[in-house]
A and B are shown apart, each in its own frame.
Chain A
Amino acid sequence: MLTAAILYFLIVFPGTAGEMCMSHTMKTVGEVVDFRPHSIARAIGRAMRRGWFWLGLLMMATAFFALLAMLSVAKVSFVFPATALSYAVGTLGGRLFLGERVTPQRWFGVLLVCIGVALVAIGKG
């Protein structure tokens, strides 16, 4: 039970934090307006020179391996619906740490997505 709780924490929080690090990195790189391959490569290269990128990648990798481990100790029908919480945590993180303006309309949409992701996973199970 404790193992599953730790793994669940590692899936939701470092996973979401890692994605927020990526978002922060790309905001510091700046809006990409030129979509030719060499311009895209230059933007990705600039992102890879930032510490936040590697921190984000490390946290996303941690969450991925925690998900694999969680699947070995808990039922799929529990794991995937439970990860729907990531959408709410991510939106809250965007509001608190990235300074995004989350309107009630966006919150309502996120709530519907959370319910939907949980239902899809239960329906698969």
Chain B
Amino acid sequence: MTPSRGLHLKTLILILIMVSTAPLGNTLLGKGMKQSGAMESWAPSSLFHFFFCAFTTGTIWLGIALLLTYFVAYLLVLSWADYSYVLPASSISSLVIALLAHFVLHETVTPVRWAGVAAICLGVFTVGHTHPRTTEHRPC
């Protein structure tokens, strides 16, 4: 495998990890917060109860674990790839969210939203055909 192909491949793998863990992590966090109940007031006892309920909900911990995975993958990919490459490429998560909404949650995805997803895919495809690294290479 050529160095350039290897670089593209590991960049692609880490971006795929990022775009699959972030939407899922956010969804689980949202679901967990609903399960643990709303904050009733700003009183210390109420705040303590709210955070105790939140941090004893398994779904929230799973969401946090996925978001931490996302953050680690994000940091790793930035150790070699351009920020101006990773930033637009990671927006492909909109496609993952739209597909999850349509096929798993059976939500209605409007034609405008599909058009947006198509534009994002085209944009990511265009950015994906540029070289991930344009700055000086520095090994760890």
Contacts and interface: CB of A to CB of B under 8 A. Distances in A.
Nearest to A97: B83
A114 B122 CA distance: 11
A122 B116 contact: yes
Contacts of B111: 123
B120 A112 contact: yes
Interface residues of A, number: 50
A111 interface: yes
Interface residues of B, number: 45
Contacts of A22: 74-75, 78
A117 B94 contact: yes
Given A101-B134, A105-B130, A43 B84 contact: no
A120 B99 CA distance: 13
Contact of B127 (A27, A99, A110): A110
B137 interface: yes
Overall SS of chain B's interface: helix
Contacts of A28: 138
A14 B32 CA distance: 29
Task: Kindly name the residue among A99, A102, A109, A118 whose own CB sees the greatest number of chain B CB atoms within 10 A.
Answer: A109
B115 A119 contact: yes
B139 interface: yes
Interface in B113-134: 113-130, 134
Contacts of B75: 22, 26, 43-44, 47
Interface of B: 72, 74-76, 78-80, 82-88, 91, 94, 98, 109-130, 134-135, 137-140
Interface of A: 19-20, 22-23, 26-35, 40, 43-44, 47, 86-87, 90-91, 93-95, 98-103, 105-106, 108-124
